[in-house]
Homo-oligomer: A and B are copies of this chain.
Amino acid sequence: MARFWHVFTVRNLLVVSLAINASFILRLGYETIDIKREQLLTGKRAQGEALPTQRAHLPVSTTSSPSSTPFPGSDRDRVINLDHGDPTMYERFWQQVGEKATIVIPGWQSMSYFSDIGNLCWFLEPEFARQVLRLHKIVGNAVTEDRHIVVGTGSTQLFQAVLYALAPPDAEEPVSVVSAAPYYSSYPAITESLKSGLYRWEGDALSFSKEGQFIELVTSPNNPDGYVRGSVLNKSGGVLVHDFAYYWPQYTPITYPADYDIMLFTVSKTTGHAGMRIGWALVKDREIAKRMVKYIELNSIGVSKDSQLRAAKVFEVVSDSCESSSNTTESLFEFAYHLMMERWQNLRAAVKHSGIFSLPEFSPGFCMFKGRLFEPQPAFAWLKCEEPIEDCERFLRSNKILTRSGRHFGVGLQYVRISLIDRDDNIDLFVERLSNIRKDNLCQHMGE
């Protein structure tokens, strides 16, 4: 913490002050978006990250009586959308960074389909590859030696590239795809979307007993519940795919450099740049990497060069700030670590105050990157509603908090996933609203 507060010299305070002004102006914009969002949700619904279901309209009755609206001030009717993992909490960091992270692309640059014709992944920008290797080396979260880097339009496209690469093209039966529940809600949606004859979603790995080849998806830390995970299937015929989207030191201690055959990462959860749509895979086997490249060639003839160049630039800034001995530049990981810590503290306090919710408990681990022990503080809260609430998503929605129901993750309705990487005002309001829902006033919150 001492190091964190060192940054506030007079000059920096000025910068922060200007950033706050900018932030206020920007928030005026956000408010407009939120109003629009609400209009949408009562009429059309917002669309976003792999939405598994059509969202039902908000019941008008929740705002009809003043006594049933315990949220004071102008925010009381605002719908808080924490369904998607939109990493907008990072905007403030990049505003503070300023010009250093700006990218300039002249009109004549990066026009060709090809980025690096000598590379197996011919659409991979060499500078992006360099910065990926550098960042992994600094953070120590993955072994990069003897690996092929495959860039994708987010790790979502890479996940599909992996399925294509691993599925035997001439097999009689589709290969089974499994993951231990609760699993990332997009896995089944994506795997089933095209009714592919190459692969088939078989659900929870823990109850999987089929014979034949399978792919096990291991997300660690897990989306939605934040636990560090390993493979659960101990039988032959399987290939493991490790999704390390959240294996970064703002969310979880970096206890070892991951060293698996196929590892997926994404810029969106590393630096917050979801709009870039850039992910990367570290792949040991050359033939698998080649087939992944073939998928991306067929699916989109490569990956945006502009976003790869921009990702390289923001990675460079992140790595520079980690390596810098001067305390005038705070690192992204410090910024996000402290923000996540604060949010988890506030959330746990609200949950305790409320008495009708519960959260996962984590053991601390020693982070090699930070050189200290800390507890995981995941990007999502995996919230459980206690009795008498049966449908947690529905209950929170009636309180104008949009979350993703546990049923999309292969478990029950008593769970929801809540994004904790949204903008400050949304998270603050959410925590405040949650802490006001208490056992003794539950009936009015249930609209009864």
Does A164 belong to the interface (CB within 8 Å)? yes
Q: Is A298 an interface residue (CB 8 A)?
A: yes
Q: Which of A106, A164, A300 has the most CB of B within 10 A?
A: A300
For the complex, give the distance between the alpha carbons of A48 and B84 in Å: 35
**How far, in Å, is A302 (CB) from chain B's closest CB?**
6
Mark A262-291 against chain B: 1 for CB-CB distance below 8 A, else 0. 000000100011111110000000000000
Q: Are A299 and B48 in contact (CB under 8 A)?
A: no
CB pair B193–A295 under 8 Å, yes or no, is yes
From B107, B122, B295, B300, contact of A300 by CB (8 A) = B300
Interface string of A116-147 (1 = CB under 8 A from B): 01101010000000000000000000000000
On whether the beta carbons of B300 and A111 are closer than 8 Å, the reply is: no
Given contacts A47-B293, A194-B194, A276-B306, contact A107 B117 (CB under 8 A): no
Q: Which residue of B lies closest to A22 (CB)?
A: B108
**How near does chain B come to A289, taking the closest CB pair, in angstroms?**
12
**Contact A305 to B293, CB < 8 A, known contacts A87-B111, A195-B196, A299-B156:** no
**Is A189 among interface residues, defined by CB-CB distance under 8 A?**
yes
| A residues neighboring B (CB under 8 Å) | 33, 36-37, 40, 46-51, 84, 86-88, 90-91, 94-95, 97-108, 110-115, 117-118, 120, 122, 153-154, 156-157, 160, 164, 186, 189-190, 193-198, 268, 272-278, 293, 295, 297-307, 310, 313-314, 317
Complex Cα–Cα for A115 and B47 (A): 11
Nearest Cβ on chain B to A149's Cβ, whole angstroms: 15
With a cutoff of 8 Å between Cβ atoms, the chain B residues found around residue A157 in the complex are: 299-300
Nearest CB of B to A409, in Å:
17
Q: Which residue of B lies closest to A423 (CB)?
A: B112
- The answer on a CB contact under 8 Å between A105 and B108 is no
**5 more CB-based (< 8 A) A-B contacts, given A86-B113, A100-B107, A156-B298:** A50-B301, A101-B106, A112-B275, A153-B303, A275-B302
> Closest residue to A46 on the B side, CB-wise?
B117
- In the assembly, what is the distance between CA of A95 and CA of B108, in Å? 5
* CB < 8 Å neighbour of A40 from B50, B117, B275, B301: B117
Alpha-carbon separation in the docked complex, A105 to B87 (Å): 18
Chain B positions within 8 Å of A47 at CB level:
117, 120, 122, 293, 297
Interchain CB contact under 8 A, B107 and A104: no
Give the docked Cα–Cα distance between A239 and B189 (Å). Answer: 26
Q: Is the CB of B84 within 8 A of A111?
A: no
| Bound Cα distance A272, B154 (Å) | 24
Among B100, B114, B273, B314, the residue within 8 A (CB) of A48 is B114
| Shortest distance from the beta carbon of A332 to any chain B beta carbon, whole Å | 10
Determine the residue in chain B with the shortest Cβ distance to A160: B299
A-B contact pairs, 28 of them (CB 8 A): A36-B118, A47-B117, A47-B293, A48-B113, A48-B114, A87-B111, A88-B112, A101-B107, A101-B108, A102-B104, A103-B107, A103-B306, A105-B105, A107-B313, A112-B274, A153-B153, A156-B298, A160-B299, A193-B298, A195-B198, A196-B197, A275-B305, A276-B305, A277-B300, A277-B301, A277-B304, A304-B304, A304-B307
